[in-house]
Chains A and B, each alone.
Chain A
Amino acid sequence: MALIECRALTRKYTRGESIITPLDGLDLDVEAGDFLALMGPSGSGKTTLLNLIAGIDRPSAGTLRIGGTEIGTLSRGRLADWRSESVGYIFQLYNLVPVLTAYENIELPLLLHPLSRRQRHEKVATALALVGIADRSGHYPRQLSGGQEQRVAIARAIVTDPGILVADEPTGDLDRASAAAIMDLLKQLNSELGKTIIMVTHDPKSADHARRTLHLEKGRLIEQTTAAAH
């Protein structure tokens, strides 16, 4: 059984008098340990699909099962708990809390878990070391480069050890060298730690790091490509 199962997945918004359907009856299976890139033009439904899988949006129709849980039917509170345990979200613009240091930003998701201060410290230190910015733990986001901020964001996403990572154009705001380094890091998380990664990107070079690439258009899946050798 696939880790993520989408069946006739649909999302509709009402904006003014018009109804927008960014995702329209999508069927998709994602196996555990997969690295999936979602590509397509703006408005094709990539980010909507990502948000649904991350549990920060709800489907209008269809089903979405993740790890055997139908997340569309969970209450707001249960869904929050599920996000805390099962998924890490990496944003294009990092979305770190500006008044917290890198350490404190990474510690944030751990506050929701029954851990001692020492246990939290150990997990944050491990995540910082994994993303290679242990020496920047006391820095505030404004004191970090874009690449470093994104590493902090990745550390925050993995610190609770979720099975799934979703990334919304994680290299979209970075220079070429930083983007390549971030993609190497994501690939490492996929291959060495077995994280299932679903990534939205416009960049074919970034998509090359994925095992599979899905092309969406007008809320529908139009093409799927698999990397020849991974």
Chain B
Amino acid sequence: MLGIRYIPLLFKQVSRQRARTLLTVLGVATAMFLFISVQALEQGVTAATVATGKETTLVVYRQNRFCPFASRLPESYTARVGRIEGVASVVPMKIVVTNCGASLDVVTFRGVPSENYDVVAAKFTFLSGSMAEWQRRSDGAILGEDLANRRRLKVGDTLVAAGITAYVAAVIRSDEAQDQNVAYVGLKFLQNAAVRGGDGIVTQFNVKVHDPAHLERVAAAIDEEFRHDPEPTDTRPEKAFVARAAHDLVQIVGFTRYLGWAALATVLALVSNAIVLSVQDRVKEHAILQTLGFRGGLIARLIMAEGVLLGVTGGVLGSVAAFAVVYFGKFSLSVEGTTVGVHGDPSLLLLGLALSAGVGVVAGLVPALQASRREIAASFRAV
């Protein structure tokens, strides 16, 4: 630790080469921006695809189909699924997307029957508009907050996408990334409006089970029920379904992890370079401080504190900027009708701060030890 009385000295030392300090801080900020952005992406993927053991939702899809355009199941399956032991509710759902591939701006329509409105909306917080308004209009749509913000839509506006025109009846907030980025409309409306699939055909069933522990058993029972039907099913827990649908996306995000670590290595190199140059410039000055009675350990701590100050300053700038962009940008990646939200968790700020401080310590360690062990008389002779 460094006594508070040394803080003014520390700031004067760091600010003596202003251009170098500024460039170092900017470099660190840029690298930390990249690192935190990658972390946010990873958090989103984890939240969308990694099971916590508390999930109660299953997604029933057409077997061997991987895109909403191709998955076609009879709506009449609803009653048969509902009779399976352990099932709490079944919502037949038609999905229409503007783009089946990965995109930052996919609009996903989910059509649900009017009798299931309450089940679907139970987890929503209405930010504007109302359920009554949605039910009143046959073309009414409930928009997730992120989709509404991204498309700059409010209640009363018209949403036009995938050849479908819907009236914005409400904007909602949900803990689920899937809900934050979709437009819920009536099933009949969507069946009529969509180019493919018509009356009596849905894309999937969202099934709630009573007990999370029975999720796999219920999924197996559903698939067994339809095994010999013309349209067999493939049922998975919702997160596993997203993980399969967004498999390519998950792999890409996994690769970006290396970019994140590379960004961190860049921070280390930048701060190390600044500290090494600074210490080389001040061999004589450190000898003077030692002559005055500064112990080698104190000089080492002063040098490491310079590294921490540079790292934390750049780290805070980069982390806050990345967090702000992620938080206010409301980005999400959609693929095959599923959505992976890019999360802006405040813990990312702490992570950025801790890592930049840690990198500062590591960056200053070697030059600090070298400076602290240098012989005073030899230092004076060397300059």
CB–CB A56/B290 < 8 A? yes
With A56-B376, A77-B297, A111-B5 as known contacts, state yes or no: A100 contacts B12, CB within 8 Å: yes
Q: How far is the CA of A80 from the CA of B3 in the complex (A)?
A: 18
Q: Classify chain B: how many residues form its interface, as a range.
A: 20 to 34
- State which of A26-34, A81-89, A127-135, A198-206 sits at the interface with chain B: A81-89
Q: How far is the CA of A51 from the CA of B288 in the complex (A)?
A: 12
CB–CB A77/B291 < 8 A? no
Return the contact of B16 from the options A54, A81, A84, A99 (Cβ within 8 A): A99
- List B contacts of A117 (CB < 8 A): 5
A109 CB–B CB distance under 8 Å: yes
CB–CB B293/A80 < 8 A? yes
B1-18 interface bits toward A, Cβ cutoff 8 Å, 1 = contact, 0 = none: 001011011001101100
Q: Specify the main secondary structure of chain B where it touches its partner.
A: helix
CB–CB B12/A99 < 8 A? yes
Q: How far is the CA of A100 from the CA of B376 in the complex (A)?
A: 21
Q: Classify chain A: how many residues form its interface, as a range.
A: 20 to 34
CB–CB A51/B377 < 8 A? yes
CB–CB A97/B285 < 8 A? yes
Count contacts between A and B, CB distance < 8 Å.
62
Between B291, B295, B375, the greatest number of chain A beta carbons within 10 A of the residue's beta carbon is seen for B291
Query: How many whole Å from B211's CB to the nearest CB in chain A?
Result: 66
CB–CB B377/A84 < 8 A? no
Give the residues from 98 to 122 in chain A that come closer than 8 angstroms, CB to CB, to chain B: 98-100, 104, 108-109, 111-112, 117
A42 CB–B CB distance under 8 Å: no
Q: How far is the CA of A83 from the CA of B380 in the complex (A)?
A: 17
B284 CB–A CB distance under 8 Å: yes
Q: How far is the CA of A158 from the CA of B12 in the complex (A)?
A: 24
Between B3, B295, B375, the greatest number of chain A beta carbons within 10 A of the residue's beta carbon is seen for B295
- List A contacts of B8 (CB < 8 A): 104
Additional pairs, 13, CB under 8 Å, beyond known A83-B293, A99-B12, A99-B13: A56-B287, A76-B295, A80-B295, A83-B291, A84-B292, A89-B292, A97-B285, A100-B12, A108-B292, A112-B293, A112-B298, A117-B5, A156-B292
Please list 14 pairs of residues, one from A and one from B, whose beta carbons are closer than 8 Å in the complex, sorted by A's number.
Answer: A51-B377, A56-B377, A57-B375, A57-B377, A76-B295, A77-B296, A80-B290, A81-B295, A89-B291, A89-B292, A97-B285, A99-B15, A104-B9, A108-B289
